[in-house]
Every structure is written in C-alpha cells, then in structure tokens.
Structure 1
C-alpha cells in the first residue's frame, strides 16, 4: 500500500510553530482534531504542514481528501474510498467498505474543507473512528462537527505588528508578505519606510494569510507604500473616514481590492472560471470561457496565476474557495451565471460524446486520464442539471459517460446518477433508451443480474419503439451478458448474434462490435470448447491491436487465459492473464484487474503453487469486497474460484492457507498487482 498522498508544498511555510507543536501533542491523545477558522486563515496549509511533521508516526501513511468540490453527501464516503483505490460493492454502502479497509490500518486522514458537508462528514468520521481504532483524523472546517469526542483548535490570523513596533523582523506576517512579494518583484524596496508600509498593510488585512498573499501578488506593479495607501482607501467609510476592519470581511475586502486592480478581461475571466469545480485545464477554460469578449483565455489565465487569483496545480488550475465565491457573485452580477453553467454543461457533454466515440481506439489512456482529472467538473455538471430540472441533459450526460462508469471503476457513482436521472424522466421517452443499456451494464458489473435484465429489456423495447437500431443492439448485448452469467449459453449466443446484426445494420463501425466475439468466446469457454474460444480470440486480438484498443483487448486476453488453462497450457495462460492485468491496471479498471488476479490464482493452484494461489485469492477477495460480488455474482465463475481455493488449501494445508489468504487480503490493489505480475 502506498504511504499516502500528501502533496508536495508549493512554496515556503511561515510561522505557526506554537500551533504545530500543539497539533503534535493533541494527536497523541485525541483521534479527531478539527482546525476551525475563517476562510483564508490558513487551516489547510497548517493541517498539511502538521501532517508532514508527523507522517513517520503512521506506518500506513498520511492521506488527504480535499472535499470542497464534493457537493453530494451521499457520495462522500465513495469519494474518500476512491482515494484508497476502493470501489463500491453492489448492495453494500461505500462507508462500510471504507471502514472495513481502514479497520487494521494505522494512518492519519486529513479531511479538508468540510463546512458544506458537516452532517455527512460527522457520520463518516463517527463510523471510521468506531471501526478503525488506529486511524486519526484532522478536519479543516469553518464549522465544527459537534461530535462529543472532537477536539477543536481555533486557527487565527497571524499576529500583526502594532503601530508603535520598532522591531518588525520578528513577525511571521512580515516574512510571508516579503517572501511572496519578492517572488514577483525581486527588486522590491525593503528600506525602513517600505517596511513600515508593509506593517501598515498587514494590519489593514488583519494578518489573514490569503489576503496577504493576494496583496503581495501586486508588488510587481506597485510599491509597498502604494499598496498600503490603496488598501487604506478600501477600508474607509466615505461618511466619516473611519476604518472598518471586521475580521470575517477582511478577505472579501482584499479580494475586492485585488479584483479592482485587474483589467476588465482579467475580471471577466475570474468570474467565468468560478463555474468550475475542483481543478480544470487550459483547454476547458478556453472551451467554456472564450468568446468575442474574451478571445485570449490562455494569456489572461497566465496573468491571474501571477496575481495569485488562480492557483496552478501541476498542469491544471484551480480557484481557492473564497476567490471562487467572489467570482461567482461577480458572475451573477454580470448576468452570466446561467449562461456559464450552460456552457460548462455543454463543454463536458461534448467531451463525453467524444470520449464515447473515440474510446475503442488509440486514445484510451488519454481519455482515462481526462475522465479522472475532470471528475469534479463532471459531477458538478450532473448535479446542476438535476438540481435545475434539466433532467434530459442529466440523462444524456450520464449515459454518454458509460466509459467512466463501466471501464474506469466508478460503478456505484454511475448507478447513482443514472438512477436519479431515469427517475426524473419517466417512460415513455426516447431519452431513456441509451442510458438504460448503460444502467444494465452497470447492474451486470455489480452482480445484480435481475435488474440488468430488466433495464436491458426496457432499453430494447424503448429503442425499438423509437426506431433506434444501434441502441436496441447494445441492449441485446447486455441481455447476452446476463444470459452468460446465469449459464444460459444458447441465450447468450442468440442475443450476441442479434446484437451484432443490429449494429452492422445501424452502425457498421460501432465499438460495440468488439463485444460480440468476446461474448461468443466466453460462451465457448463455459461450454468446454476451448479450441473454438482461442480461435475466436486470436482474430479479436488482431482487430484490437490494429485499432489501438486496450480495454477489450485486456478482456480478450482474460478469456483466452481461461481457455488456455482449460487446454492445460498453464504458461501461456499465465502470460495472457498478466497481459490483461497490466492493461486493466493502467486504466484503473477494477473489474478487469480483479478478474485477472482471480485467474492468476487459479493458474498458481493448477501448477502446484498453493501459497501464491492463496495469497492472490486473498488479494482478489479484498478488491471484490470493495467493488462487487465475486465473479460478478455468476456461479460459473465463482465455481472456478472455489475450486482453486480448495486445491490451494490441499497443497499447503489449512493453517498455511489461512495465513497466505490473510496476507493477500491485507494488501492494497497496487501491491496485489505488483505481486501478481511477478514470475
């Protein structure tokens, strides 16, 4: 298991020595510590710095879940579970899988930005602390969780030098400003008069770190004295000239002042970027924000980064929550809120359709990375459609994202959105036809075969009624899969061939045609006709390689491994299963990965390596428990697994088998893949 996901610090950390010492002491005696304070006060930076200082105390690492982009409390536990590589299990709440995974771990979990999900966070934290005795949690929030065992530590702004202070060098707030300001203006004056102006500026901003950094970003064009003078004006009331300095207004005032120092184009892009959730890339910023009023998005974006309005995260960008809130208010004031939400939706809908069209080709890894990187924005688009009553758009988007749900491991989340959208668009409606076969596919992956049949049958009937031959054919392929999993091989062949005929007539180049030979080969394998299966798959693999297709090629290799082992060719079967596993792991396809690990366990048992077989069975059991039913709930596949377990136990004995099984079950997906790929 990796030792956490603690991000590398992007710049230097100043001060907070007393707070860091206090956090270290508190973590030795409390399991839930909430860092509580206003926006921009530095809660996240403090939590991460504290986590870096204590990470050696946690053998299973420090894990950081950034929650600002998560808006649905029902998906919260799945969000955190996904960070650990866990996948939802059919009929089992994600929280239960998460707690089971954490039960024997010793780690520190940082839940960052929880104030908008206080109740769901409190419920999740309670379950984790109850079921995982060696897990400690740091929460950052503007609101307390109000749990009886919660220790709350207030995070205040930096102390600021009083007007009469003669020694300014000992104040961390001064060091923070000078560090950030000289980064953009290396020749910044630091004589006594300039330092007095910096002290005045820090007092005006009440020592709020984010406000200080915003001010420092303007040092390229303004001296410290000019910055302080302009801020002085911002804090004056026209009526009597008295300064208003209320702490919780300070950051907003600083954001407003920074906003005034931006050009019209910079202000417009700031407002429009507020429509994004989490991070975004430059291409998406252009796609959503560019028009005749804002033609140079890339150039303006670079300036906003230099002014600390937009933060750079690797090759992506994000707005901090307070900055995003200010931009969103300005967007509504401009009257563009609805327009930008619509552009955001349309951008991700168009991208989802492109991913669908290009998935069975050479860009699969690229699209897999895109989908994972844009998950927060995809969720935001779906949530907005559902909240705004744009249900048909939600249904179209959820259906178009079938690759994300079916091939990239987000089965539970896909079912969540499809179920909500289908419920909001009642039958009969043509918009339901395609999403229904996607929902059927997800039900198959979750082992819910009766629901898969129901969804696929309704999809076929709806598509037939509306003259949609391609969708009807896809529905038949899902019915073929359902027949296959219950051992109805003739039914599987029949539906597969009907699906193939429908696709050739409706869409001769459809990627769905890749599924037909795989279904037929699987049916032949289950029927004991291993030579026929290998023959079918030889041609299928050639087509996959010619098209640059990886996902179906991996499934082809998995089925070929089953057939080769059936012919007694263990070495060849092992090579095929490993090829399937390598591709599935590269795509982070949990279903394909765990099927390959199960198969490698069978091969190990067949060649007499009982320990390896037991270890791999344990690892696969752990993965299945976080995703779905073993063997997709099919007796034909679980029987193979049970036979391998019985042979492994017979080879090494009950005690050794139990020990190896437990060792495998304690492994992380990544560790299981590494072990499984060894010779």
Structure 2
C-alpha cells in the first residue's frame, strides 16, 4: 500500500514521437475529464496504444492519485484481469475477498486515471470488472484500447483512424509522410526522400502507423518506389525483421492475425469472402456475393465494431491491409474463384439495371452508385469474358468522365473477339462514344463506321442510330458542321423509327443535341432553339438530367448568339447544376466555359478570366484538354480573346491564375452562389 502513495504513476517512457494525433489528443483530454470510460478503437497497427500512452502522459497533472497503465496483451486468463490491475496499482494480494471488491474499495475515493491497454481478448472480463469498479468509484476515469467497444452504457468511443494521405501538394506535409520521413532519417541519416513517392507508398499502406514504421525498416535495402511495388505481398514485406522496439507487434501479419483470432468462425468466413470487394459496399452487395448455406446471416456491424470494416452510414469497406489478409484466407479456403465469380455476376446484374434506368428519374442515384462502385467495377471488368459489363456501363464512360477507361476496356474486348453479333455491334458503338469522350476522334469515327455496317446488316435501327450519332459527334469535333448536321438528323430519324412509342431511347435527345449544336455553330440560332425545345420536353417528361444538361448548354450558345445574355446565362447555370449533380466533368467544364462567355458579353472581363482559369483546371484534371478543333476549344479561344480585350494581358493573366488556383468544389460552389465569383 505504501508503494501506491509514493509512486505518482507507472506510465512507461515513450519509444518514439507521436506524429499527427493532435486532434485526437485534444478530444481525449476533454472526454476523459467528463466520461467514466473512454475506449480507443481502431484497426490493428493504427496506434491506439501509443495514443493512449501519450494521453496518459499529458493528463498526469489532472489526477491527484496518478495515472496507472495496465498492459493486458500478455494476460490470457480473464479471471486474472483484476489481479493485473491490482499489481499495476501496487496492491497486495488478498486471497479472502474477490479482487473486484478489493479494487472497488481501494478506488472508491480516489481520483486517478486507469489505462487498460489491449482489452480485446479479455473484453468480457474487463467489462465486468469495470462495471463493478465504476459503480463504487465515481472519480476514477478509465481509458481503454481495443479493436472494438467493451459494451458498457457509460462508455464513450473514440475511433482512431489511419493517418490521412491526401493527393497533390498537401501530401508533403501530411502526418503519414512526416512519420515516414522522421523515422527514415533516424534510420538512414541524410536520406533523400521524394514526398510524393512517400505519399504514394503511405496511401498503399492505408496510412497505418505500424505499417509505415515497418516499411521504413526496408529502406536499408530498397528505395521508396521499390517498397511500393512490393505491396502486393505486404505481409512478407512488413515482417519487421529489426529488433528495434516497435511495441508488441513485430509484423503486420501478427497485428492483423490477432484481430482474426478474436473473430468467431462465421466472422472469419465473412471477412474472407468480403475481401473480394475493392471499394465501398452495402448490405445488399454483401448478401448477393457472400451469403449461402454457411452464411445465412451477415454480421457486418459486428466486423465494423471489431475494426475489420470501416463504416460510413450504411456503407462499408476494408482497408487494403485487412482485405489482403482476408484474401489469403479465402484462397486457403478454396473459395477465391467462386467468390470472384459471384462478385462479377452481382455487379453485372446491377450495371444492367442501372443502364435500363439511366434514361429516367433515377439517373442521379445511378451516377452516385457508379462513382462509389468504380473500384469494384474495374475489378469485375478484368474478369469479363464478354461484352455485357463493358457495354452496360456505357453511361459511365460517356456521361461520367470515364471515357478513357471505357475506351481501353472496349478496345481490348473488340480486338479479342471478332465474331459478329448484336453484343459486338453494341460494343462498337459504345466504343465510338467512349473514344470521343476520351478525345480520340479518329477511333470514334472508325468504330462508328464499323458499328453502322454491323447494325445495318442485323436490322438493328437503334444500334444504327447510335452509330450515326457517334459519327455525327466526331464530325462536329472536327469542325465539319454540314456533315455533323446531316448525320445527326439521320440518327434522330433512326431512333424515331426504332422506337415509335416516342423517346424510349436516350440516343434521340443526344442526337438532337448534336444537331442543335451544328445549327448553332453555323449561326442558325432559330432552328437550333426549335430542336432544343423538343429535346428539353422529351427529357423533362422522363425526368432525365444528363442529355437535358447538354441541351441546356447548347441552348445557352444559341441564346448568346441571339443576343439574349440573361437567357444564355440561365441555361448555362441550369447545365452546370445538372452536370454537377451527376459529377459529369465534361459537362461541368463546358458549362463553366459558357458562363465565362456570358461574362464577356456583359463586359465583365475579370469574372470571365477567373471562370476560364477555373475551367482550364477542370479540363486538365479530367484529361479532356486535347480535343483538337472541338467546338469547346473554339468557344474558349473566342471567350479568351474577348476577356483579354476587356482587361489587357497582365490583368487577364492575374485573374486567370486566381481561377486556376481553385479546386472544382470551390469553383462550383462560388458559381452557384450567383455573386460568389464577383467577390474573389
């Protein structure tokens, strides 16, 4: 008992600096002051123990009776948890009374912080002990660490996330890069490190501090890019051969393996099966891919509580490190091929449903789904033996800024499979549209011609219309307005013949947009507006956004040509709103350019230059800047010339640079704020 009065605490000395946890430390200090029990949760290796120890060190002065750390990682018997706590506090053994009562009596009037580190394997015993102690000791505070909660009513949870690794210039000063750099320079003095290469490696390591520190130890033999290239076998790479202290985990396999041991057999099987998902998924996705007679119920929330899954509302995902571990088990179970096949079939089924509903009111929902599902769609495409998935996703390639990806996959499939048939014909026209979205006009024309020949032979009028539209759009980009108008009119006629029930194929309003653009660029603003009035009504009737937004863009061009500046700006804003809702990068950039053109018409050179700068960044970020003699480029040149005339070159360059410096989110928010751009 005397030892407890003379010792202030037993907090061990830290073995290294804590990097990038300032926000969590502040949150902990506030929570520990007001909550009886705070539990740090998080994935293996994320740094829960180190954060708890730093918090304990920081909070020493707030507890008159000290801060006491109980390391439970080596204790395997739940019945001895109370004895471990008593030993840390310096209490003598008492064989007569239950240890929980002894602790409760001792702590009843004391003001101290108890740190229970690594409670996972003893969670029930820890919870039972704390339930007893906290009822009798109102001034005691407990800080616990584990992969999941202890489950007490008074428990407050703090999720310890991996260190964020942003893209771009911000990566240089992010916590993960700083951690790697500090540890690397301590290990290899004078080491020269490229922060962008380090950031790429840290992203591959999920920002997990233990993984980063283990990777640093490979620098004696490998460069940063070489380490990054070996992450496919991360558990062998991060084996932790060095004997330098890294806490109780000397390898990522050990750290993640402890999480695996804490799971039930059903949870382990689910973990393994879920490893086929590359990105976010929900309960319906998991059920479709993973459920069978062995897994009739799926405990996603349980895996999230154990930090195996990252949860965001009703969505879940795995960190790469956790996924790789699960995939190894899936392979050992002999289920990898079967689960990958189910994964492919599921995403094909959903893609077909999305395609069927794209021309309608659920467009925004399907656009959001596609953005979320892209990692899994890409994975499924690599296993696709036919054209179905790549062609069902035509709206992703052509409407959502993924033209290059779609063009690459479709070219691969078309070059591999030359047997004629409706599936290949569809792949040809989709490839034409995707190639145009990717800026490859020559490929677009070639595939459109092949598609038209095949569709005509098969008597497929809708496919022939899609092929004609691809050719018309290519002609428009090349500046051949007469050919574009003729082909677009032919495409519209084919769609009307194929779908007499009116407007059943999205190709019709797309072809009408191309026709109206050709009219507008030829100065035929009245005929352009006539076509667009029909096009707008057709889209509005179905609740469609994408084709209507591009029609609104062309309507803005026509209204500006007629001198109707207010109407031109209103239509350009409508186009921006819809394309931003869908996150269509081509549409957003084009609408921003068109708003710059309306600013020139109003005589506002500063606004026009800033908008052009912002749009230029959008085009470049989307990889869509090289469109040859496309009408977009022609319009930009004309608008820039007008803005320079209004401002003079030096003022134009300054305003353009200010717009170029803004990211897309900020730009669109300020544009939609009506006057936001005027106050930059």
**What's the TM-score once normalised by structure 2's chain length?**
0.64
Contact kept, 8 Å, 2:18 with 2:50, in 1: the verdict is no
Match of 2:276 in 1: 275
Q: How big is the shift at 1:361?
A: 1.1
Q: Which has the higher contact order (CA 8 A, sep 6+)?
A: 1
Match of 2:594 in 1: 599
2: distance between equivalents of 1:151 and 1:285? 32
Q: How big is the shift at 1:128?
A: 4.5
Per-residue displacement from partner, 1:326-371 (whole Å, max 9, x unpaired)?
5434434444322221111011011111111111211111111111
2: distance between equivalents of 1:323 and 1:282? 19
Contact kept, 8 Å, 1:111 with 1:138, in 2: the verdict is no
| 1:559 correspondence with 2:559 | no
2: distance between equivalents of 1:507 and 1:581? 30
Contact kept, 8 Å, 2:407 with 2:438, in 1: the verdict is no
The secondary structure found in structure 1 opposite 2:174 is strand
1: distance between equivalents of 2:508 and 2:308? 48
2: distance between equivalents of 1:324 and 1:148? 23
Matches within 5 A, 1:107-122: 108=174
The secondary structure found in structure 2 opposite 1:633 is coil
Question: Which residue of 219, 223, 237 maps to 1:147?
Answer: 223
Q: How big is the shift at 1:324?
A: 3.5
2: distance between equivalents of 1:470 and 1:336? 42
2: distance between equivalents of 1:584 and 1:475? 24
Q: How big is the shift at 1:396?
A: 2.4
Report the CA distance shift for 1:302/1:470 in structure 2 as closer, same or farther (over 3 A): same
Match of 1:359 in 2: 358
1: distance between equivalents of 2:44 and 2:261? 15
**Range moving further from structure 2, 517-526 or 468-477:** 468-477
Match of 1:185 in 2: none
2: distance between equivalents of 1:138 and 1:350? 30
1: distance between equivalents of 2:176 and 2:428? 38
2: distance between equivalents of 1:561 and 1:43? 55
2: distance between equivalents of 1:638 and 1:272? 48
Matches within 5 A, 1:203-222: 207-208=248-249
Q: How big is the shift at 1:608?
A: 0.8
Higher Cα radius of gyration: 2
Matches within 5 A, 1:117-516: 128=196, 143=215, 144=218, 146-147=222-223, 207-208=248-249, 250-251=254-255, 253-255=257-259, 257-259=261-263, 261-262=264-265, 264=266, 266-297=267-298, 300-321=299-320, 323-383=322-382, 385=383, 390-392=384-386, 395-426=387-418, 428=420, 430-508=422-500, 509-516=504-511
Report the CA distance shift for 1:255/1:520 in structure 2 as closer, same or farther (over 3 A): same
Per-residue displacement from partner, 1:216-259 (whole Å, max 9, x unpaired)?
xxxxxxxxxxxxxxxxxxxxxxxxxxxxxx85663465355334
Per-residue displacement from partner, 1:164-207 (whole Å, max 9, x unpaired)?
xxxxxxxxx9xxxxxxxxxxxxxxxxxxxxxxxxxxxxxxxx83
| 1:545 correspondence with 2:540 | yes
2: distance between equivalents of 1:107 and 1:536? 53
2: distance between equivalents of 1:419 and 1:284? 29
Long gaps (5+) in structure 2: 1-10, 23-42, 55-164, 181-192, 229-237, 676-680
**Range moving further from structure 2, 553-562 or 248-257:** 248-257
Q: CA RMSD in A?
A: 4.2
Contact kept, 8 Å, 2:206 with 2:321, in 1: the verdict is no
**What's the TM-score once normalised by structure 1's chain length?**
0.64
Q: How big is the shift at 1:373?
A: 1.3
The secondary structure found in structure 2 opposite 1:476 is helix
Q: How big is the shift at 1:147?
A: 3.1
Match of 1:57 in 2: none
The secondary structure found in structure 1 opposite 2:439 is coil
Long gaps (5+) in structure 1: 1-13, 26-38, 51-81, 85-97, 115-124, 162-172, 174-205, 209-245
2: distance between equivalents of 1:621 and 1:309? 41
The secondary structure found in structure 1 opposite 2:316 is strand
Contact kept, 8 Å, 1:606 with 1:644, in 2: the verdict is no
Contact kept, 8 Å, 1:436 with 1:455, in 2: the verdict is yes
2: distance between equivalents of 1:403 and 1:344? 21
Q: How many residues align?
A: 495
